[in-house]
Structure 1
Amino acid sequence: MTVNLTAELTDARILAIIRGTDTAAALAAGTALLEEGVRLIEVALTTPGATRVIEALRAVAPAGSLVGAGTVLTTADVADVAAAGAQFVVTPAVVESIAEAARRGFPVVAGALTPTEAYTATRMGASAVKLFPAAVGGPAYLKAVRDPFPDIPFVAVGGVGLDDVPGYFRAGAIAVGLGGPLVGDAASGGDLDALRARARTYLSAVRDSAGS
């Protein structure tokens, strides 16, 4: 079944990014996020055993959740994450994996910072553009990049703190991607209870932003 990733991002509003140094810890962090109600999980390929983490999370993910792969750079990476059962692909930049994933029917969130990169990524087949690193310019920069491209769905990623969330949504982001500010060191063996607490706080902030 083809995933309408743009619709899923618009509805969920949070994309959690698992990037750690330990396979078991990354799996535990992803599982905790799913249990707390975070519906979209990206496992970065820089995490040891990332494809195994993706497979395992797919097995435990509740209905309505999606597990994808991040830091997908090459055509070989696309083949690897497809075999692992990833449901979407995320890139950090405009790279060859965008066109390959699109060719295979994978929805792609492509990393871009400039207007040229954002336009190029969509021309290559990206479903949405990951404005990265968003903290370089903040919500005002997102709005400026969006203005000439109102039809490109943007996800703000990179240094998005809790207090930043409402501003990015007001600037037109369909979702925010949260790595360190949400996951912390949990994917490397850190405190899972603290991760769960942060997840509840971010989910509450998103609900509040949606209602404002």
Structure 2
Amino acid sequence: MNLTEPQHPLLAIVRGTDADAALKTVLTLADEDITAIEVSLTTANALKVIERARDALGAHVLLGAGTVITPDDAARAADAGAGFLVTPGLLDAPLPDLPVVMGAFTPTEIITARDRGARAVKLFPSSLSGPGYLRALRQPFPDVPFVPVGGIDLADARAYLAAGALAVGVGSPLIGDAADGGDLDALRLRARTWHCALTDEVTR
């Protein structure tokens, strides 16, 4: 499976205070056919969550580590079984041989991210711009895979995909309190709603 394939329009971002709940959240998302999942390294015992999720899910789910800030973060995430890395901003350091979704916002940062080997650009924080900004960026950067992240609800997500985003990264509007020990049944319902809506968007 390829991080930049369009059949993964939703990148679920799991961030929580309870490691067991975070693992259950990842497994629940995968069970509901959400197959691109990022576990933020700010999650309690995040590396163990990634390791256990990878053992449980095998290779059919794209499982990555987010909030990667240092080379040590990247190396430890790779050792835990992360299949890709997501950074909140530009990272200029030797990284493991994994796809990197690098955070950027301005055109200069986007150029820098690509020069540093980013497989895709995390447009962050997208709440400061909106789909119109992405549409404008697609003019000078038609070949850059963009993944907007930050404050995206379902209506925003569909608008970003229509504007040319490869995928959208979504945290709390999708995850809710599940990764803190909250309601997994409610998570299932949200996951089904998001999956159906965004799959429909990219197949139009």
**TM-score (norm. length: structure 2):** 0.96
Q: CA offsets per residue over residues 81-114 of structure 1, 9 Å max, x none?
A: 1110111000011123xx422xx32100011111
SS at match of 1:174: coil
Q: Which of 2, 5, 17 matches 2:3?
A: 5
Q: Which of 122, 136, 156 matches 2:148?
A: 156
CA contact (8 A) 1:165 1:205 kept: no
Gap regions ≥5 residues in structure 2:
none
For 1:210 and 1:146, locate their aligned partners in 2 and report how far apart those are by CA, in whole Å: 17
For 1:105 and 1:191, locate their aligned partners in 2 and report how far apart those are by CA, in whole Å: 36
For 2:184 and 2:74, locate their aligned partners in 1 and report how far apart those are by CA, in whole Å: 30
Aligned to 1:44: 40
1:143 aligns with 2:141: no
**Which amino acid is the alignment partner of residue 199 of structure 1?**
A
Structure 1 residue 146: deviation in Å? 2.1
Q: CA offsets per residue over residues 62-95 of structure 1, 9 Å max, x none?
A: 5521111000011111111111011100001112
1:100 aligns with 2:98: no
CA contact (8 A) 1:42 1:69 kept: yes
For 1:27 and 1:128, locate their aligned partners in 2 and report how far apart those are by CA, in whole Å: 26
**TM-score (norm. length: structure 1):** 0.92
For 2:56 and 2:43, locate their aligned partners in 1 and report how far apart those are by CA, in whole Å: 19
For 2:56 and 2:165, locate their aligned partners in 1 and report how far apart those are by CA, in whole Å: 29
Q: Which of 188, 203, 209 matches 2:201?
A: 209
What is the RMSD of the two structures over their aligned residues, measured on CA atoms? 1.3
CA contact (8 A) 2:7 2:199 kept: no
SS at match of 2:91: coil
Aligned to 2:116: 124
For 1:208 and 1:58, locate their aligned partners in 2 and report how far apart those are by CA, in whole Å: 28
Which has the larger share of helix? 1
Q: Which runs of 4+ in 1 moved over 6 A?
A: none
